[in-house]
Every structure is written in structure tokens, then in C-alpha cells.
């Protein structure tokens, strides 16, 4: 079936799903603001519980006043390659909201799930627009809360490096070795009919 960058699918799907991957080689070019906002536009239309839309994005474009603050949140390893991204975005999610007719906030149980859906939309739109994305989960969340002035009631999900993809050989040798699309489990390992019958 479809094969992109040695990714083989068991069923026919739109190639965009296997064409997306998380490279570390970025060119260091800045991203045009309207292009960046087209990614947020895609994220905007993600589904969410009760249409609560709990995702929030805080961005810093390369060379802007906020760039070093966001880049500085990533750990040393991630900073080695993320420093060449065109923008870094923090994805946070709202953990509770006040429902219609109520005065006390109730928890948004699916805030991370919904934020994840928005992240995927953003990543796929980026690919469509000729950009690459790479999620970063290893960063200092306490520092992020302080640096980005994130109030209580919001969960810090991930940072996202976005940019134009560069050639693999622009990376340091150790990162070059990891610069390739990853495979996936077979469908039978994570899809079951009727009940939980996985061998975990």
C-alpha cells in the first residue's frame, strides 16, 4: 500500500498522514506571520468536548523579542536543533470552565485530548503548507508558567518547533543518525474488536 519515506500502510489512506514526521533539521528561516496563523486556523477547527476549545497557543517567531524566552524553555538536547526553527509555539489547555447557567467552574476532563487534536491539525496543515513541525515534551514547565505568565487553571502541554525543513547533513552527526521517519506498530497491536484483547 502507500509508502512514503519507507512508511508502509496496511490500508490505503491519504498520504499526508505518513508524510508528516518530526525532523530536527530546520533551515533557520523566519516564518511569515500569515503562514503561521494559517496553522492556528487549522487548529481552530479541531473537535473538542462540548466545543469547549480548551487549546491556547503562545508563539514566538524567530528573531522576535519573545524568541529567546520560548527557545530557552527547551532542554539542552532539544535546543541544539530547535534553535534553527522558524517559530516556537507553546500549547496549553484550559482545565475547567463555567458551563451555561452555572456559577462554579467544572473540570474539562478532555482538555489534553482536545489540545492533542488541535496539535495534529496544526501539524498536518503545516505539512500542507510546506513546513515541518516537531513537538517537544521535555522542557521546564515551571519555568514556562512563569516566563509565559500562564495562570492557574491552564495545563502546559507541549512546545512545538515549526520551520522549513533543512537537509539532514546540516545537523550534528549524532542527530543525523536519528533524522528519519519512524515506523509504527501494526494495526493488530492496537485495534481489537469487542473487548480488550491486546498482549501488553
Question: Do the Cβ atoms of 70 and 88 come closer than 8 Å?
Answer: yes
Residue 57 in contact with residue 40, Cβ under 8 Å? yes
* Helix-then-strand count for the chain, H and E: 7, 8
Per-residue contact track with ligand FMN, 158 to 187, x per CB under 6 A? x----------------------xx-----
The answer to whether residues 184 and 10 touch, using CB atoms and an 8 Å cutoff, is no
Question: Looking only at residues 97 through 126 of this chain, which bind ligand FMN when binding is defined by CB under 6 A?
Answer: none
Instruction: Report the residue number, 29 or 140, with the smaller CB distance to ligand FMN.
Output: 140
Q: How many CB atoms neighbour CB 174 within 10 A?
A: 8
- Smallest distance from the beta carbon of 136 to ligand FMN, in angstroms? 4
Which of the residues 12 through 51 are near ligand FMN (CB under 6 A)? 21-22
Size of the site for ligand FMN (CB under 6 A): 11
147-to-62, 86, 151 alpha-carbon distances in Å: 17, 20, 11
Which range, of 32-40, 59-67, 134-142, 166-174, touches ligand FMN by CB under 6 A?
134-142
Q: Alpha carbon 115 to chain centroid distance?
A: 9
Sign of CA dihedral 171, 125, 119, 104: positive
Closest chain position to ligand FMN (CB) = 137
- Look at residues 51, 40, 31, 37 and name the one whose alpha carbon lies nearest to residue 97: 51
- Shortest Cβ distance from residue 181 to ligand FMN (Å)? 6
Residue 136 engages ligand FMN in binding (rule: CB under 6 A): yes
Closest approach, Cβ 183 to ligand FMN, in A, equals: 9
Q: CB 87 → ligand FMN: shortest distance, Å?
A: 17
Residues that bind ligand FMN (CB under 6 A): 21-22, 78, 134-138, 158, 181-182
Amino acid at each position: 500500500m502507500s509508502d512514503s519515506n519507507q512508511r508502509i500502510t496496511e490500508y490505503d489512506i491519504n498520504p499526508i498522514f505518513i508524510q508528516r514526521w518530526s525532523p530536527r533539521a530546520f533551515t533557520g528561516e523566519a516564518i511569515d506571520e500569515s503562514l503561521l496563523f494559517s496553522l492556528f486556523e487549522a487548529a481552530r477547527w479541531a473537535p473538542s468536548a462540548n466545543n469547549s476549545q480548551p487549546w491556547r497557543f503562545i508563539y514566538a517567531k524567530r528573531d522576535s523579542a519573545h524568541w529567546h524566552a520560548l527557545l530557552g524553555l527547551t532542554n539542552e538536547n532539544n535546543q541544539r536543533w530547535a534553535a534553527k526553527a522558524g517559530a516556537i509555539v507553546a500549547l496549553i489547555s484550559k482545565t475547567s470552565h463555567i458551563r451555561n447557567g452555572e456559577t462554579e467552574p467544572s473540570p474539562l476532563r478532555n482538555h489534553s485530548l482536545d489540545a492533542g487534536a488541535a496539535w495534529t491539525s496544526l501539524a498536518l496543515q503545516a505539512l500542507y503548507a510546506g513546513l515541518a513541525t516537531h513537538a517537544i515534551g521535555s522542557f521546564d514547565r515551571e519555568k514556562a508558567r512563569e516566563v509565559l505568565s500562564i495562570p492557574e487553571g491552564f495545563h502546559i502541554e507541549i512546545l512545538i518547533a515549526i520551520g522549513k525543513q533543512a537537509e539532514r547533513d546540516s545537523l550534528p552527526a549524532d542527530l543525523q543518525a536519528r533524522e528519519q521517519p519512524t515506523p509504527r506498530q501494526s494495526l493488530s497491536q492496537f485495534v481489537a474488536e469487542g473487548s480488550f484483547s491486546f498482549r501488553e
